[in-house]
Structure 1
């Protein structure tokens, strides 16, 4: 099993859309049994996949001793792809983890989920706190979506510092240029400065994901955006294979 965190401390960077599309790619392209774990209280991943959380159980209950994750996990419309949805309880999860005093509680839960899944994608909240620290400890790779802007560069610095604080065994970071529009001079300059970074274009097909509540690979499989997601997922698998 490999855990992949899609993380940024800045909102509005396409984080959730990227997490959903990568999870779809893992299940549909690599044919890996995949879990998308939404850890953002907005439940954006669930919305994009057309899946609502179970009202009888709160998302934070998975961290209780003896909890059964299967009671929270939902199937999606896509073979091999399941969702662990978020809800409002995630907003106080940071305090819950602090109270438990277990720095690797999320990693332990992830290890249990590894019995059923080959890839776990974490849709992370845009915060720097105990929850983000625990996600990083559980991840094998951290993907950072970055729309070309000075604020995004600062966000990458913050994420890099957070990841490195996890110690020598911290996961590698893969920056991804998101919402890239090469008609704009700032975007073109960012692409020229980072030619080796994967890039996801600003495209109507990506915007339609939220309207149709489907991943771009299912919605517009021949689009440039779908090809970009496929290319990014290929880069992710190669990076994981190299360890």
Structure 2
């Protein structure tokens, strides 16, 4: 099993869209048993997969000893892809983790799912918090979506600092340029400055994910956006294979 975190300290960069589409690629292209674990209280991953939260707010209860994660996991419309959805209760999770005092609680929970899943993908909240620190300790790789802008470069520096602060043996970071429009000078310059970074283009098909409530590969499989996510997933699998 490998755990992949999709994380940014800056909102509006496509983090949840990345998490959903990469989870779909893991399940559909690689045919791996995949769990998408939403840790963002907005439940964006559930929305994009067409899954509405249950009325009872229980997402944070999985971190209590008496509640098992598999009790909250829900099936999606896609074979081999499951979702552990978020809800408003996640907003209190930082306080709960502080009270529990277990720095690797999330890592232990993920390890307990090893028999059921080949890949766990974390959709992280866009803030530096105890939740994100726990994710860094659980992840084998951290994916950081970065639109081409000076603010994004600053956000990457903050992520690097946080990941390195998670302790020895911290996971590798894979920056990904998102919302790229090569007609724009700033975007071309950013691409030239970071030629080895994977690229996901600015595309109407990606925006339609929120309308269709589906991963882009499910409704526009031949689009440049679907190909970009598939190529990104291939790059992630290769990086994981190298260890």
Deviation at 1:57, TM superposition (A): 4.8
CA distance in 1, matches of 2:21, 2:36: 10
Aligned counterpart, 2:145: 145
SS in 1 for 2:10: coil
Aligned counterpart, 1:224: 224
SS in 1 for 2:145: strand
1:1-243 mapped onto 2 (5 Å cutoff): 1-243=1-243
- In structure 2, the gaps of 5 or more residues are none
CA distance in 2, matches of 1:13, 1:26: 21
Deviations 1:31-87 (A, max 9, x none): 000000000000000000001223235100100103122221110000000000000
- In structure 1, the gaps of 5 or more residues are none
CA distance in 1, matches of 2:116, 2:89: 25
Q: CA RMSD in A?
A: 0.8
Query: Mean alpha-carbon deviation: is it higher for 145-154 or for 57-66?
Result: 57-66
Contact 1:140–1:171 (8 Å) recurs in 2: yes
* TM-score w.r.t. length of structure 1: 0.99
Query: Mean alpha-carbon deviation: is it higher for 5-14 or for 159-168?
Result: 159-168
SS in 2 for 1:113: coil
Deviation at 1:219, TM superposition (A): 1.2
* TM-score w.r.t. length of structure 2: 0.99
CA distance in 1, matches of 2:13, 2:225: 16
Deviation at 1:167, TM superposition (A): 2.1
CA distance in 2, matches of 1:100, 1:68: 16
Q: Spell out structure 1 runs of 4+ moving beyond 2 A.
A: 53-57
CA distance in 2, matches of 1:95, 1:167: 21
Contact 2:25–2:230 (8 Å) recurs in 1: yes
Equivalenced residues, count: 243
SS in 1 for 2:82: strand
CA distance in 1, matches of 2:113, 2:156: 29
SS in 1 for 2:22: helix
